[in-house]
Amino acid sequence: MSRTPREVFADHGERLGTGDLDLISRNYTEDAVFVTPEGVLTGRAGVREGIGRLLADLPDADWRLTPRFAGNVLFLQWTATTAAHEVTDGVDTFVFRNGLVSAQTVRYTLTPRTTPTV
């Protein structure tokens, strides 16, 4: 099955919406590399762990995504907001191989939201 990076990314977004980490990780190669601020995770098990951490950090987030494709690479700038936290400098880089994601680098800073005082 050969899919374009755009098709994989669209499918990835739909799978993220389900919250099913096994389903989400099927968009990755068996030898995928997932690089997070905490370290490198490998394989589909590593992908499940890395995405699970991100989703746990940002439950019920309001996501804003700006994708930019360059051949088999996607640069994704994003922000997310929850009741308690926000991310203002999220950047992911995806590398695609044979219709799947073979590498992803995730960078973000999680900041507690403060309630302005009157």
pLDDT of residue 116: 59
pLDDT of residue 117: 55
pLDDT in tens, 43-63: 999 999 999 998 888 888 899
pLDDT of residue 37: 85
84: exposed, middle or buried (C-beta count within 10 Å: 0-12, 13-18, 19+)? exposed
Tokens representing 114 are 């403060």
Parts of the chain with a pLDDT under 50: none
Residue with tokens 């370290």: 39
* pTM, entire model: 0.88
